[in-house]
Amino acid sequence: REMQERAFAARTAQYLLIKAPASGKSRTLMFIALDKLQNQGIKKIGVAVPKSQSVHPWYGLTKERIVKK
């Protein structure tokens, strides 16, 4: 998937923000974290995931905006 390719290409960045819904983010982040631990000398990885209650309203607004355009 395009998002996964772009995220992996940016794997050496200090911070990554991936916000594509239902796009395989967890699997992508797993491989990026493994690369950082094994190849980039990083000893700890932090992953932040918002609660679904706060994310779902945002998806609804995005879909409405896309439909209206």
What pLDDT, in 10s, does the model give residues 34-66? Answer: 999 999 999 998 877 666 555 555 555 554 444
The residue among 69, 25, 63 whose CA lies nearest residue 47 is 25
Find where tokens 């239902």 sit: 22
- Cα–Cα distance, 68 to 65 (Å, whole number): 5
- Cα–Cα distance, 40 to 48 (Å, whole number): 20
The structure's pTM equals: 0.62
Measuring CA to CA, how many Å separate 51 from each of 11, 43, 55, 58? 24, 26, 7, 12
Alpha-helix residue ranges (DSSP H) falling in 1-48:
2-9, 25-39
